[in-house]
């Protein structure tokens, strides 16, 4: 209990906890993207994948709650550390030194709040299916004869709404921008960044974030463009 308390009470502990939750969330968003990209394959693939996850039962909801807790803690810590940094910063003398921090690092807390709002909307839309109870009734028969939830149809119908797709693209864009600074900062806090690796890590972060954004955005764009359609 004292260890947990020190993580939240000390500046160093909060930075470490923020990096640790960031690492968990980095792994999740990567895995989530790989799972969603199966929508470009025959419907059997993503529906079987969805069935595998749902077969975890209560365990799946425990994972979701754990991830949501990580998001809330991560955003809360970002706000706390931002306020601490502002309080510790000396009074300006009429000059703004923008070279002290990148734009991404200076808006981390705000982009984090937008991403949190998006996650809550995404859960309500596709997981709880608020406003779309019919999605719970759509079924798909796998090649082995098992009837499962039709995730493919749910995704196509969901992203057929232009407003939802635009919001999704903007949100993953902000998340990618957030990650551009967060990945390097996380590795530095965990002691994995040094002078020798700095340039390579920064290039990896930029490449990863561009890839993450473009691949995520490709899903709603493909649905709106008719490249991914409802199966027969």
Tokens matching residue 15? 């930075």
**Structural domain boundaries in the chain:** 2-87+99-224
- CB neighbourhood size of 25 (10 A): 21
Interval 94-126: pLDDT, tens: 444 444 444 555 566 666 677 777 777 777 777
| Burial bucket for residue 47 (CB in 10 Å: 0-12, 13-18, 19+) | buried
Residue 64 pLDDT class (50, 70, 90 cuts): confident
Contacts of 7 (CB under 8 A, 6+ apart): 13, 14, 16, 17
Please state the pTM of the whole predicted model: 0.81
Residue 59 pLDDT class (50, 70, 90 cuts): very high
Radius of gyration (C-alpha) of the chain in whole angstroms: 20
Mean pLDDT of 177-187: 83
**Of the given ranges (25-34, 63-72, 138-147, 174-183), which has the lowest mean pLDDT?**
174-183
Tell me how many degrees the CA angle 133-135-137 measures, rounded to the nearest 5.
Answer: 90
pLDDT given at position 41: 95
Residue 62 pLDDT class (50, 70, 90 cuts): very high
pLDDT given at position 7: 63
Interval 27-40: pLDDT, tens: 999 999 999 999 99
Residue 195 pLDDT class (50, 70, 90 cuts): confident
The domain 2-87+99-224 is classified under which CATH number: 2.60.210.10, 1.20.1300.10, 3.40.50.150, 3.40.50.170?
1.20.1300.10
């Amino acid at each position: 209990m004292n260890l947990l308390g020190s993580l939240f009470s000390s500046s160093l502990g909060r930075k470490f906890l923020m990096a640790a939750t960031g690492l968990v969330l980095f792994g999740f968003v990567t895995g989530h993207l790989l799972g969603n990209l199966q929508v470009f394959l025959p419907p059997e693939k993503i529906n079987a994948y969805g069935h595998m996850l749902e077969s975890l039962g209560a365990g799946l909801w425990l994972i979701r709650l754990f991830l949501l807790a990580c998001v809330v803690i991560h955003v809360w810590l970002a706000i706390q550390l931002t306020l601490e940094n502002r309080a510790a910063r000396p009074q300006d003398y009429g000059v703004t030194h923008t070279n002290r921090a990148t734009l991404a690092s200076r808006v981390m807390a705000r982009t984090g709040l937008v991403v949190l709002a998006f996650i809550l909307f995404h859960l309500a839309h596709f997981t709880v299916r608020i406003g779309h109870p019919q999605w719970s009734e759509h079924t798909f028969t796998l090649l082995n004869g098992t009837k499962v939830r039709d995730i493919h149809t749910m995704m196509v119908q969901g992203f057929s709404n232009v407003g939802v797709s635009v919001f999704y693209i903007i949100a993953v864009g902000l998340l990618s921008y957030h990650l551009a600074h967060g990945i390097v900062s996380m590795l530095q806090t965990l002691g994995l960044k040094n002078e020798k690796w700095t340039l390579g890590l920064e290039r990896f972060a930029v490449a990863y974030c561009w890839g993450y954004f473009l691949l995520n955005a490709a899903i709603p764009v493909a649905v709106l463009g008719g490249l991914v359609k409802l199966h027969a």
